[in-house]
Amino acid sequence: MLSKKSILSVDDLDTGEIMQVLESADSFMDISRREIKKVPTLRGKTVASLFFEPSTRTRISFEIAAKRLSADIVNFSAQASSLLKGETIMDTLRTILSMQVDLLVIRHRDSGTVKLMDSVVNVPVINAGDGKHQHPTQALLDIYTIKNHFNRLEGLKVALVGDYINSRVARSCQSLFEKMGLEVTIVAPAMLLPEDWSGFKVEHSIDRIIEDTDILYMLRMQFERQDRKLYPSVREYNRYLSLDMKRLSRMKKDSVVMHPGPVNRGIEIYDEIMELAKEKGNNILIDEQVTAGVAVRMALLYLVLGQS
Amino acid sequence: MLSKKSILSVDDLDTGEIMQVLESADSFMDISRREIKKVPTLRGKTVASLFFEPSTRTRISFEIAAKRLSADIVNFSAQASSLLKGETIMDTLRTILSMQVDLLVIRHRDSGTVKLMDSVVNVPVINAGDGKHQHPTQALLDIYTIKNHFNRLEGLKVALVGDYINSRVARSCQSLFEKMGLEVTIVAPAMLLPEDWSGFKVEHSIDRIIEDTDILYMLRMQFERQDRKLYPSVREYNRYLSLDMKRLSRMKKDSVVMHPGPVNRGIEIYDEIMELAKEKGNNILIDEQVTAGVAVRMALLYLVLGQS
Amino acid sequence: MLSKKSILSVDDLDTGEIMQVLESADSFMDISRREIKKVPTLRGKTVASLFFEPSTRTRISFEIAAKRLSADIVNFSAQASSLLKGETIMDTLRTILSMQVDLLVIRHRDSGTVKLMDSVVNVPVINAGDGKHQHPTQALLDIYTIKNHFNRLEGLKVALVGDYINSRVARSCQSLFEKMGLEVTIVAPAMLLPEDWSGFKVEHSIDRIIEDTDILYMLRMQFERQDRKLYPSVREYNRYLSLDMKRLSRMKKDSVVMHPGPVNRGIEIYDEIMELAKEKGNNILIDEQVTAGVAVRMALLYLVLGQS
């Protein structure tokens, strides 16, 4: 039912397809709340999960999604593999594909490798994050979380705060949020922005938007992806970009805080807020994002495979 | 049907509940002997196994137990994880929980961490071993093995021999065995005992109890958990605490040898005895303990989850 | 239906049994081409996969085979294990076996260890590769691939090219191919041959057989298994043993190229040929071998377990 074979970027889905994903996710959300969280939809399908970069949440989220759809899933991680024997990554891919796998979930450290891999295989690929490029399932689960909370999307104001330049989540979210009618502001100092940010609405401090934003989306500081020492000091970060209790208290009623996780406590978000988030009825949606993740990934696996 | 949400310690179960676990384990033992070792009891449940310490037998035992009950199980181990990205362990826990997992099996290196984790989640937790503190599923499979062999529990004499101070197995077994009416003696030199062992029945050499004990329970020497060099030399160990053929021959008819595994051959138990144990009809119950482990863990998963 | 309990070597199967494996593989090949690639044949069976050596293709191939037969499979790898705690490998084996596992798939670095392990257990063992000794499932999938392509076996000429001395694949293929009526030539310099190769038909250069062979079977250069520096230089290798486009063009119509994978590009086979192999309708059967691998392993699991 989706027009493209694979989901490599949020741009692979048009608005209608995105709505279809969100609606499917709604039904799968119901399934995950049942006593028996399992449907036979993808029985007899084989999903291969190829992670060339360490991951907990995304890998396990896909694994749970596949299992709740009754698919078989095999995990391949670069460390435990024949890459040790000098096999090229493309030969690895051909090998796994020759085992008549129905779908590949791929994460890779280098931007674009997933796209290259997709171009040589005839089964669907879902990008589980490639370098600094795209993380479409994250953006989709975020938009699902937002829609679920606000019951609308059009016109909501969202601020993406922090390490934009190193974040694949930022790129996917910006693009998807704008497509769905949200107003996106990037909050970052020049050193965390791309060289050309013409066309972006940019602010350099969280204080400039905190009272007016509906969704405060804190980006993870990607220390592990920074090539040069271009990030600000923690002190600088805290001054302009961190969320503390004082700033939290200035936010509008009904506004929400999001983060793709894992949070660097004391950098993007202060400890007190993380503790506060555990209590019910607050507007910190980090856990809700994770829950949505399983449902959205079930929807994607289903739509990509279910009627093929 | 169990009164507590979680099983963190053997003290979380009263005598009636322990009997219930043993009876359930009996039926699951039958299932593991069938051609088709699988029942649909926990279909559609998701079990997450979180091991922050390396393990073979316990992890695989729980995995087999979950699969034979038709539950889905996802494995999370600390090495392959986002802990690499500086995520705190409690945030990891919240993430996994937000995926609507039904039960957590947790092993952790630090005493008490499992309890802390349990206190912040609303799903059942089964402690798969925490530091030097508790290993309740081991003690339960041991009592199952004993009951299965002797057809009674009350009044049996058991000696826990060796590295008491560093052993979570010892602590769990001592407590559970006493609760079930066994007479427990600890056989260890002062350096392998806690500072305050008032209330314990203690002997310093295996020779003092070997002819009178029903169950000789050899504790694993926990080299990896010893902070200081407080253990005796191998020579000293052998002299007072090891089981060799000569000592074995002095044991009562119908008495048995147990060990939670893996055995340090030549320390707790001599090679010849390990070889002897392979033959049928002897009273070395090490393999029987492992077999009981799957059945007892099936029973625990069932009782904790089955009727919720 | 097979006469031996286990499959440790190709010699464990007689000609009739081999034909039976190939016929079963044919039906399982059909299943892997269906929409629902799953049959309930081994529901409720537990397969344990024990890999004491890193592997991608073989481990995942067995995992997919087991899952398509609805068996439960647990993976044990030496790194993540109690071997860390000093457990002997044989004690590990007893532990896993005591969990009432129905079949073991074992790979081990040392020749003969798998046989030793088999001798102490009463469940079937499938050898997934032991040192330089045997890799029977590889040879069986190769003969399946050949039969599938040529529709006959008797009288076909096959050349095993390259690192014979370090290759368990070579040993298994040579033996199985000869048993099935193929004419085997080994193409290797003396330094890559065993000391006594009387009884072998040997050539020292690929050019001596390239125009006359039906199957050019390129062996993987086992750098990781070479004790001394006995291999030729890459230049020497290329001169006498590598497959380049020029040599490929000299091959007979209908002749085929095979390789057990992973290929050392530029050593056994040149890059251009690997790229060419991606296109349909060529005679480079490397991907077909992988596909056959799942079907043949399903057949073996079924025949060894299915009617027990």
Select the residue from B55, B57, B63 to test the C interface by mutation, using most C Cβ atoms within 10 A: B57
Backbone angles phi, psi at C29, to 5 degrees: -60, -40
Residue B168 near residue B129 (C-beta atoms within 8 A): yes
Identified catalytic residue from C45, C59, C68, C107: C107
**Is A163 part of any domain?**
yes
Identified catalytic residue from A45, A58, A132, A185: A58
ipTM above 0.90, yes or no: yes
Report the gap between the CA of B7 and the closest CA in chain C (Å). Answer: 22
Question: So what's the pLDDT on residue B174?
Answer: 98
Q: Which residues of B touch A75 (CB under 8 A)?
A: none
Q: Which residues of chain C have pLDDT under 50?
A: 80-82, 84
Report the gap between the CA of C80 and the closest CA in chain B (Å). Answer: 6
- Distance of alpha carbon C165 from alpha carbon C225, whole angstroms: 10
- How many CB pairs (< 8 A) connect B and C? 88
- Does B156 share its domain with B224? yes
DSSP 8-state symbol, C278: T
Q: Is A33 one of the annotated active-site residues of the chain? A: no
Question: So what's the pLDDT on residue C79?
Answer: 59
Contact criterion met (CB < 8 Å) for C46 and B57: no
Q: Which residues of C touch B287 (CB under 8 A)?
A: 94-95, 97-98
For residues A122-143, average pLDDT: 96
Contact criterion met (CB < 8 Å) for C54 and A86: no
The two counts, helices (H) then strands (E), for chain C are: 10, 9
Identified catalytic residue from A45, A59, A68, A107: A107
- Does C173 share its domain with C96? no
**Is B238 part of any domain?**
yes
Contact criterion met (CB < 8 Å) for B56 and C87: yes
A69: helix, strand or coil = coil
Question: So what's the pLDDT on residue C84?
Answer: 46
- Distance of alpha carbon A175 from alpha carbon B105, whole angstroms: 39
Of B292, B264, B274, which is closest to residue B167 (Cα–Cα)?
B264
**Is A2 part of any domain?**
no
Report the gap between the CA of C290 and the closest CA in chain A (Å). Answer: 6
**Is A61 part of any domain?**
yes
Nearest residue on chain A to C61, alpha-carbon basis: A99
Q: Which residues of A touch C (CB under 8 A)?
A: 43-46, 48, 72, 74, 76, 80-88, 91-92, 94-102, 120
Helix H or strand E segment including B51: strand B46-51
Amino acid at A99: M
Report the gap between the CA of C199 and the closest CA in chain A (Å). Answer: 32
Q: Is A149 one of the annotated active-site residues of the chain? A: no
Identified catalytic residue from A45, A68, A135, A259: A135
- Distance of alpha carbon B185 from alpha carbon B206, whole angstroms: 10
Burial string for B105-123 (b: 16+ CB within 10 Å, else e) reads bbbbeeeebbbebbeebeb
- The minimal CB distance from B100 to the residues A32, A79, A278 is found for A32
- Does B236 share its domain with B122? no
- Does B51 share its domain with B182? no
Nearest residue on chain B to A290, alpha-carbon basis: B98
Q: Which residues of C touch B223 (CB under 8 A)?
A: 86
Report the gap between the CA of A78 and the closest CA in chain C (Å). Answer: 9
Contact criterion met (CB < 8 Å) for C98 and B287: yes
Report the gap between the CA of C299 and the closest CA in chain B (Å). Answer: 19
**Is A191 part of any domain?**
yes
10-residue averages of pLDDT along chain B (308 residues): 93 97 97 93 96 88 98 82 60 92 93 89 95 95 98 98 95 98 97 92 97 97 67 86 96 96 92 82 91 98 83
> Is A105 a residue whose pLDDT tops 50?
yes
Contact criterion met (CB < 8 Å) for B262 and C99: no
Nearest residue on chain B to C91, alpha-carbon basis: B262
Report the gap between the CA of A69 and the closest CA in chain B (Å). Answer: 10
- Distance of alpha carbon B243 from alpha carbon A183, whole angstroms: 74
- The minimal CB distance from C67 to the residues A72, A81, A82 is found for A72
Helix H or strand E segment including C117: helix C113-119
Q: Is C115 one of the annotated active-site residues of the chain? A: no
Report the gap between the CA of B69 and the closest CA in chain C (Å). Answer: 10
Question: So what's the pLDDT on residue A82?
Answer: 46
Select the residue from C46, C76, C94, C99 to test the B interface by mutation, using most B Cβ atoms within 10 A: C99
Of A54, A163, A272, A80, which is closest to residue B85 (Cα–Cα)?
A54
Nearest residue on chain B to A274, alpha-carbon basis: B91
**Is C240 part of any domain?**
yes
A120: helix, strand or coil = coil
Contact criterion met (CB < 8 Å) for A44 and C37: yes
Select the residue from B33, B49, B56 to test the C interface by mutation, using most C Cβ atoms within 10 A: B56
- Does A123 share its domain with A148? no
Q: Which residues of A touch B100 (CB under 8 A)?
A: 32-33, 37, 291, 294
Q: Which residues of A touch C55 (CB under 8 A)?
A: 82
- Does B184 share its domain with B50? no
Q: How far apart are the first and last CA of chain B?
A: 8
Amino acid at B150: F
- Does C21 share its domain with C114? yes
Question: So what's the pLDDT on residue A84?
Answer: 46
Of A276, C173, C11, C40, which is closest to residue B36 (Cα–Cα)?
C40
- Distance of alpha carbon C292 from alpha carbon B44, whole angstroms: 33
- Does A161 share its domain with A90? no
- Does C153 share its domain with C277? yes
Report the gap between the CA of A237 and the closest CA in chain B (Å). Answer: 18
- Distance of alpha carbon A203 from alpha carbon A192, whole angstroms: 12
The model's confidence at residue A227, banded by pLDDT at 50, 70 and 90, is low
Contact criterion met (CB < 8 Å) for A34 and B44: yes
The model's confidence at residue A80, banded by pLDDT at 50, 70 and 90, is very low
Contact criterion met (CB < 8 Å) for A99 and C36: no
- The minimal CB distance from A98 to the residues C54, C265, C290 is found for C290
- Does C212 share its domain with C107? no
Q: Which residues of B touch C95 (CB under 8 A)?
A: 56-57, 261-262, 287, 290
- Does C49 share its domain with C123? yes
Of A37, A17, A43, A69, which is closest to residue A297 (Cα–Cα)?
A69
Q: Which residues of B touch C101 (CB under 8 A)?
A: 64
Please report all neighbours of A, defined by 3+ CB atom pairs within 8 A: B, C
Tokens of C250: 């000299």
Q: At what angle are helices A15-33 and A168-179 packed, to 10 degrees?
A: 110
**Is A25 part of any domain?**
yes
Question: Which contacts qualify for B82-88: CB closer than 8 Å, 24 or more apart?
Answer: B82/A54, B82/A55, B82/A56, B82/A57, B82/A262, B83/A56, B84/A54, B85/A54, B85/A224, B85/A262, B86/A223, B86/A262, B86/A264, B87/A56, B87/A261, B87/A262, B87/A263, B88/A265
Question: So what's the pLDDT on residue B113?
Answer: 86
Helix H or strand E segment including C76: strand C72-77
Nearest residue on chain A to B76, alpha-carbon basis: A56
Let me know the angle formed at the C-alpha of A82 by A80 and A84, rounded to the nearest 5 degrees.
Answer: 80
- Does A67 share its domain with A85? yes
Strands B46-51 and B157-161: unpaired
- The minimal CB distance from A36 to the residues B43, B80, B96 is found for B43
Select the residue from B64, B218, B263 to test the C interface by mutation, using most C Cβ atoms within 10 A: B64
pLDDT tens, A239-261? 999 999 999 999 999 999 999 99
Distance of CA A25 to the CA centre of its chain: 15
Positions of B marked active-site: 57-58, 85, 107, 135
In which domain, by residue range, is A193 found?
A: 137-289
Contact criterion met (CB < 8 Å) for C44 and B34: yes
Contact criterion met (CB < 8 Å) for C262 and A99: no
Q: How many domains does chain C have?
A: 2
> Is A1 a residue whose pLDDT tops 80?
no
Question: So what's the pLDDT on residue A228?
Answer: 54
Of A130, A201, A206, A205, which is closest to residue A169 (Cα–Cα)?
A130
Residue B271: CATH number of its domain: 3.40.50.1370
**Is A5 part of any domain?**
no
Q: Which residues of A touch B102 (CB under 8 A)?
A: 37
Nearest residue on chain B to C86, alpha-carbon basis: B264
Query: What's the predicted TM-score (pTM) here?
Result: 0.94
Contact criterion met (CB < 8 Å) for A82 and C262: yes
Question: So what's the pLDDT on residue B82?
Answer: 47
